[in-house]
Structure 1
Amino acid sequence: MTGRHFSRVVFGNKKTALSLIRHLVRIDMAPDLVVTLGETARAGVDIAGGANDMAGVCRDLGIAVYECSNYRLSGADDQRFFTENGFDLAICTGWQRLIPQEILDRFASGVFGFHGSGMRFPNGRGRSPLNWTLRLSGDRVFHNCFRYAAGADDGALFQTTELPIAERDTIAILQFKALVDIKLSAERLFAAHAAGAIPLIDQPDGPSIWLPKLTPDDSRLQFASMPRDQLLGIIRASAPPFAGAFATLSSGDEPRRCVFRNAIAYDGPMGEHWTSAAPGTILDASSDFSVIACLGGPLLVIDSADSLEDKVGERLD
């Protein structure tokens, strides 16, 4: 595939990218090309929420596909492809690597991506921004569509949308809200490109707050030292599609990891001993729910990997 010119391109590997592509097809703004990982490159990386057979689905939709050999686009074949073809505009979503500057420079109107956190740019750059927003009890996400530049998350802004966060929103709900905004932003971006001008605003200079990467081990619930609102933030941020938050039950022959996928503040009737119970004590439970003592009031687990019905009175660490 050489000597061709592609006006609209999408980079992506995840289900979110595939949802965006299908949306663009429905509104007659289909991309001319999709760039995704080839089978060999894909086998070497762990992609949360990866789309099965992205290349095959896009070809069935009548879209040209380039399957890259390297996630960082640093392989000789990938470099050759971007050198020997021409490009106007690209949207990148769910591509968890920086795109090399020499490839960004091949797009006449730029490559645009998305980043949202509870802080306005330039703050909130970095890793796991939506998860961090829930962990920090944020009430909104500033969701940015911006042109990629040499650094991470520091390019000029096309638009910023405020996404409200409801009290019981989990990471999956927040990701869906972001996906809806990605689709709407893509429509506006492609329309601006077709009209001949994409308006951009530079990000402010100066110091900024960067967010570090979160790992599954960071989802540990520490009942003895964390108040209820902090625990709820971690649970909501670790909910599916992530692995869930966890605590350890130390009774019995071996410690048992208990995984919690969703919880809310408990506001029902309370036993006389509940207010004096140590944080982490399992106050009551059924096959579906459990109430756990916390600093600041009990927590009601509404989705967990295992029932704690036979562990009432025991304590989670």
Structure 2
Amino acid sequence: MEKMDKNFGKKIGFAGCKNVTKDCIENLIEGGYRINNLITLSPEQGERFQVAGYMDLKKFADENNIGVYYPEKYSLKSEKDQKEIKKAGLDLLICMGWQRLIPKWLLEGLSIGACGMHGSSEPLPKGRGRSPMNWSLIEGKKRFLTHLFFYDERVDSGDIIGVKEFDINYFDTAETLHYKNRICLNRLLLQHLPKILDKTIEVTSQSKEGATYYPKRTPKDGIINWKETTENIYNLIRAVTKPFPGAFSFLG
């Protein structure tokens, strides 16, 4: 009996350079999907762009017969990047562990589109922007929502494919939130990918009002202000632990 083509004849690519990228690819391969290409960063690029939690995925991709492309520019906007990525003929690009917007030329060239994940403690459009897991812990939030959504040219503003919610408990850290988020993300992908690929997926547009944006965090933001409350200091420490540089202070 001929095996069913879960890809529906579509070419699936990934963009990412973190453990979540590897985890999602493994999840889909185990689910019977073929991943054709991976846009990722070389170790030198990962260091240059200071990617927190960077993972070299070349060996993993080779072992799974996934074509690898190291872009000339992280933005994917060089002529070489356009030429090489277009050669792959991708229909769907899944962006996990990729900290850049997807350029217009690539969005328009995908027959299905590009999708990715954004989490926040409130339903989108609240909580767009950078480092939402860290900010949710810093602010002492009690829940986190994993959104799977289609990309557009703006920040975290595309149509929502699906959402899963989980609790943030008092002992959670950035590391445990990443783990919980990956579980939800993998479930969302397996649940919705069939209808994404055959273009029957129903999506929900985000509200055009009430959007909020988290700012970027850097390692220096981990400094402890001892004038803060014990709870606020504790929340900062657990928000910037692994895979991030951590909280710190000075003596003297």
TM-score, normalised to structure 1, is 0.72
Does the 8 Å CA contact 1:35/1:67 hold for their aligned counterparts?
Answer: yes
Q: CA-to-partner distance for each residue in 1:195-228, whole Å, 9 max, x for gaps?
A: 441211100011422111111221222222x111
Structure-1 separation of matches of 2:52 and 2:32:
29
Structure-2 separation of matches of 1:120 and 1:208:
10
Q: Secondary structure at the match of 1:120?
A: coil
Amino acid at match of 1:36: T
The answer as to 2:96 corresponding to 1:93 is yes
The answer as to 2:240 corresponding to 1:238 is yes
Structure-2 separation of matches of 1:231 and 1:9:
41
Q: Post-superposition shift, 1:151? A: 0.4
Q: Post-superposition shift, 1:55? A: 2.2
Does the 8 Å CA contact 1:40/1:69 hold for their aligned counterparts?
Answer: no
- The equivalent position to 2:187 in structure 1, one of 177, 184, 189, is 184
Structure-2 separation of matches of 1:229 and 1:23:
37
Q: 1:19 maps to which residue?
A: 23
Q: Post-superposition shift, 1:248? A: 2.4
Structure-2 separation of matches of 1:160 and 1:68:
31
Amino acid at match of 1:29: Y
Q: 1:153 maps to which residue?
A: 156
Structure-2 separation of matches of 1:6 and 1:55:
23
Does the 8 Å CA contact 2:112/2:197 hold for their aligned counterparts?
Answer: no
Amino acid at match of 1:242: F
Structure-1 separation of matches of 2:154 and 2:66:
30
Q: Post-superposition shift, 1:188? A: 2.1
Higher helix fraction: Structure 1 or Structure 2? 2
Q: CA-to-partner distance for each residue in 1:36-85, whole Å, 9 max, x for gaps?
A: 12466445322211112x12321211222223222111122111123444
Q: Secondary structure at the match of 1:232?
A: helix
The answer as to 2:121 corresponding to 1:118 is yes
Number of equivalences: 244
Shifted more, 121-130 versus 237-246: the winner is 237-246
CA RMSD of aligned residues (A): 1.8
TM-score, normalised to structure 2, is 0.90
Q: CA-to-partner distance for each residue in 1:261-307, whole Å, 9 max, x for gaps?
A: xxxxxxxxxxxxxxxxxxxxxxxxxxxxxxxxxxxxxxxxxxxxxxx
Does the 8 Å CA contact 2:159/2:206 hold for their aligned counterparts?
Answer: yes
Q: Post-superposition shift, 1:112? A: 0.4
Q: 1:198 maps to which residue?
A: 201
Higher relative contact order (CA 8 A, sep 6+): 2
- The equivalent position to 1:170 in structure 2, one of 162, 170, 173, is 173
Does the 8 Å CA contact 2:130/2:214 hold for their aligned counterparts?
Answer: yes
Structure-1 separation of matches of 2:44 and 2:64:
23
- The equivalent position to 2:145 in structure 1, one of 142, 156, 181, is 142
Q: 2:13 maps to which residue?
A: 9
Structure-1 separation of matches of 2:244 and 2:88:
38
- The equivalent position to 1:47 in structure 2, one of 47, 51, 55, is 51
**Percent of aligned pairs sharing the same letter:** 29
Q: 1:70 maps to which residue?
A: 73
Q: Post-superposition shift, 1:187? A: 1.2
Q: Are residues 84 and 242 of structure 1, via their aligned partners in 2, closer, same or farther at CA, if it must alter by over 3 Å?
A: closer
Does the 8 Å CA contact 1:91/1:186 hold for their aligned counterparts?
Answer: no
Q: Are residues 209 and 193 of structure 1, via their aligned partners in 2, closer, same or farther at CA, if it must alter by over 3 Å?
A: closer
Query: Where does structure 2 lack aligned partners over 5 or more consecutive residues?
Result: 1-8
Structure-2 separation of matches of 1:120 and 1:17:
23
Does the 8 Å CA contact 2:143/2:165 hold for their aligned counterparts?
Answer: yes
Q: Post-superposition shift, 1:119? A: 1.8
Amino acid at match of 1:51: M
Structure-1 separation of matches of 2:40 and 2:249:
37
Structure-2 separation of matches of 1:171 and 1:85:
35
Q: 2:6 maps to which residue?
A: none
Q: 1:57 maps to which residue?
A: 60
Structure-1 separation of matches of 2:164 and 2:152:
20
